[in-house]
């Protein structure tokens, strides 16, 4: 079992984090703002931000950032929630249309910004990651231990998504309710969108091929029958 899997799972499970940049208006001080994110095919966080936003102006002056993601729980004890902080450099990357399409699948309403606003994609090139998951689960993680590359090409991921959405809608309904859509697949699980909420479902074991993924989906469908 990958000991860093809980930190990665938390990042993959959630959809929003606090993006901290270095302020240009109050020099040297951190500036935090909430932003949605998804991960690209290399497993790095991707954000989509407006040039007029304060955090974008800060990034253009100094690309050093952190993204802190907190686990959603019913408990009011925030210290009991898992959290992961990804530190790195925000690099503008509007040429990666695969990452853009992954983002738009996870956040469909943001697609309009691609046509009507000058929003830009930034990839967080990770330097170090801090994870707190509870007592005895506090550690730093190096990027090569944290990120896991998606084993599927853009075309393969699209084939899986189309097949599940078109031919197995009843399975997705059992997993996440009416109108659920598959929006992303990676080595460790898949993402469903239901009423604009992401639902992350993990595979029992990591997959590496299309056949592995097929078997994993069949097993999940059997368990949820």
pLDDT digits (tens, 9 = 90+) for 128-160: 999 998 767 899 999 999 999 999 999 999 999
Q: Which of 108, 126, 146 is the last residue of a domain?
A: 146
Tally of helices (H runs) and strands (E runs) in the chain: 8, 11
Higher pLDDT, 118 or 167: 167
Q: Are residues 170 and 142 in the same domain?
A: no
CA-based torsion, 86, 58, 24, 33: positive or negative: negative
Higher pLDDT, 115 or 173: 173
Q: Are residues 124 and 202 in the same domain?
A: no
Q: Are residues 126 and 171 in the same domain?
A: no
CATH number, residue 123: 2.30.110.10
pLDDT reported for residue 78: 67
pLDDT reported for residue 1: 38
Helix extents (H) in 4-96: 5-13, 54-61
Average pLDDT over residues 32-55: 96
- Least confident range of 13-22, 56-65, 130-139: 130-139
CA–CA separation, 11 vs 37, rounded Å? 9
Q: Are residues 16 and 120 in the same domain?
A: yes
Domain around 203: 154-223
CA–CA separation, 149 vs 144, rounded Å? 10
Q: pTM here?
A: 0.93
pLDDT reported for residue 137: 84
CA-based torsion, 128, 84, 99, 172: positive or negative: positive
Kindly report the average pLDDT of the chain as a whole number: 93
Residue 61 DSSP class: H
**Strand locations in the chain (E):** 16-22, 30-36, 38-39, 45-49, 64-70, 83-92, 120-134, 137-141, 181-185, 189-194, 197-202
CA–CA separation, 16 vs 31, rounded Å? 16
Number of domains in the chain: 2
Q: Which of 91, 121, 146 is the last residue of a domain?
A: 146
């Amino acid at each position: 079992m990958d000991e860093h899997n809980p930190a990665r799972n938390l990042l993959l499970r959630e959809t929003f984090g606090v993006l901290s940049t270095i302020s240009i208006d109050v020099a040297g001080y951190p500036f935090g703002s909430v932003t949605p994110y998804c991960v690209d095919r290399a497993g790095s966080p991707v954000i989509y931000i407006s040039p007029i936003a304060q955090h974008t102006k800060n990034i253009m002056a100094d690309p050093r950032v952190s993204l802190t993601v907190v686990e959603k729980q019913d408990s009011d004890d925030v210290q009991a929630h898992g959290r992961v902080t990804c530190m790195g450099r925000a690099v503008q990357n509007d040429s990666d249309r695969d990452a853009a399409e992954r983002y738009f699948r996870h956040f469909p309403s943001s697609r309009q910004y691609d046509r009507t606003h000058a929003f830009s994609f930034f990839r967080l090139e990770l330097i170090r990651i801090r994870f707190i998951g509870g007592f005895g689960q506090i550690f730093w993680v190096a990027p090569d231990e944290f990120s896991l590359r998606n084993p599927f090409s853009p075309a393969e991921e699209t084939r899986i998504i189309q097949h599940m959405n078109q031919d197995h809608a009843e399975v997705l309904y059992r997993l996440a309710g009416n109108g659920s859509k598959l929006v992303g697949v990676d080595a460790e699980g898949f993402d469903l969108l239901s009423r604009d909420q992401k639902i992350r479902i993990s595979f029992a074991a990591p997959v590496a091929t299309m056949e592995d993924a097929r078997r994993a989906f069949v097993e999940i469908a059997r368990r949820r029958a």
